Amino acid sequence: MAQGSTSASWLSRYAWFTAIATLLLVCSGGMVTSKNAGLAVPDWPTTFGYNMFLFPVSKWIGGIFFEHTHRLIASTVGFLTIILAVWLWRSRERPLRNLGLIAIGAVIVQGILGGLRVTMLKDQIGIFHACLAQAFLGLIVFIAVITTNFWRSLTNEPVDSTKTAGLRALSLAITVAIYLQLGLGATMRHQHRDLAIIDFPTANGVWIPDTSAAALTKINAWRDTQGLSDVTAFQIWLQMAHRFLALVIAVAVIAFCLRVFRDLPGNTALRRLSVLWVALVFCQVALGAWTIWSNKAADVATAHVAGGAIMLSFGVSICALSWRLAPAASKARSTVATREKLATI
């Protein structure tokens, strides 16, 4: 039993290591986009005709450095994922085996999308590439969570199912909303090289932007004098949707935290995670504002991307733990019913 527990602990540690490597990959991809270095290397899977792993370090300069290192990190994550999948397969638990196979499939598709983004020169592929990267990170984090010994111990913790039902639904809704928010962010980053709205918290000096033809003509005339690219009504409202959804997510995360403290005061894990989730929300909002005020400085914008990925990771973890409490609640309810039945005999 002790040997099996030790093996499970090492599996969990390795899964978390893979998750951290995946987060680094997401940050690297964000830097590539922020630096407009996505096409710094024009060929794929080779790098200027070289085997990717034999490309001379002396040529890692400018945008090539960011694009090439992104490819190397992606290859490393792919290798780590294969090892993780093999390890999960050896566990002989069907759900873990399936998750390992899904992870391998996702990392292969992700690599192909990255290559097609280079060879086909389509921004739309970049959007799907970014969204799949976040989904893949969520999957690896989920695997890391469910392979912990703490995860297994949760089934023995009795809770009130009437209180956990609302928490499960809310945590799932927030996590889905965060993923949609990341999708909006990816679309914004790949649709337009400049900010569509360059002020915050207002939008072009007002709270509700005017996107009529006359207003757009005026806005773009001013942007031309500033050396900024023209914008469309769609791009402006896309950024407004991103801001509005950020507000909704912030309110929902705070509400979730308050509800955890009210309904599950004894659950230390969820309490701590929900507090950190709230802290992350405030950091993410600050980074979003800073991205605009800095005119999308590469390091700030990439930090904002990383913050979004961490927010999603927390969402997946909290959602998983909230749903894990359901069997425990059912078990507790069944035990109470059995005791009551025995008491009547």
| Non-local CB neighbours of 208 within 8 Å, separated by 6+ positions | none
pLDDT tens by residue, 239-248: 999 999 999 9
Q: Which residue from 284, 306, 286 is spatially nearest to 294, judged by alpha carbons?
A: 286
Residue spans of the domains in the chain: they are: 1-147, 157-345
Is residue 328 scored above 60 in pLDDT?
no
Residues in the chain: 345
Task: Tell me the residue type at 4.
Answer: G
pLDDT tens by residue, 20-37: 999 999 999 989 888 888
pLDDT tens by residue, 261-281: 998 888 888 999 999 999 999
Angle at Cα 139 formed by Cα 47 and Cα 325, nearest 5°?
A: 165
Give the up-direction half-sphere exposure of residue 20: CA atoms within 13 A in the CB hemisphere: 6
pLDDT tens by residue, 60-75: 998 899 999 999 999 9
Three-state secondary structure call for residue 50 = strand
pLDDT for residue 8: 72
Q: In terms of C-beta distances under 8 Å and separation of at least 24 residues, what long-range contacts does 276-284 make, across chains too?
A: 276/314, 277/253, 277/311, 277/314, 277/315, 277/318, 278/253, 278/254, 280/307, 280/310, 280/311, 280/314, 281/249, 281/250, 281/253, 281/254, 281/311, 282/250, 283/307, 284/246, 284/308, 284/311
Residue owning tokens 């800073």: 290
Low-confidence winner among 40-44, 119-123, 263-267 (lowest mean pLDDT): 119-123
Is the CA virtual torsion 302, 30, 211, 215 positive or negative? Answer: positive
Q: How far is CA 266 from CA 269, 272, 315, 333, in A?
A: 9, 11, 20, 18
Three-state secondary structure call for residue 197 = coil
pLDDT for residue 162: 66
pLDDT tens by residue, 130-177: 999 999 999 999 999 999 888 877 765 556 666 678 889 999 999 999
Angle at Cα 94 formed by Cα 88 and Cα 98, nearest 5°?
A: 65
pLDDT for residue 92: 72
Q: How far is CA 244 from CA 78, 241, 250, 256, 300, in A?
A: 35, 5, 10, 18, 21
- Both tokens of 255, joined, read 């509400």
Residue 127: count of CB within 10 angstroms of its CB = 20
Q: In terms of C-beta distances under 8 Å and separation of at least 24 residues, what long-range contacts does 298-302 make, across chains too?
A: 298/31, 298/34, 298/35, 299/31, 299/34, 301/30, 301/34, 301/189, 302/27, 302/30, 302/31, 302/34
Do residues 133 and 59 touch, judged by C-beta distance below 8 A?
no
State the helix-helix crossing angle for 233-263 and 268-293, rounded to 10 degrees: 160
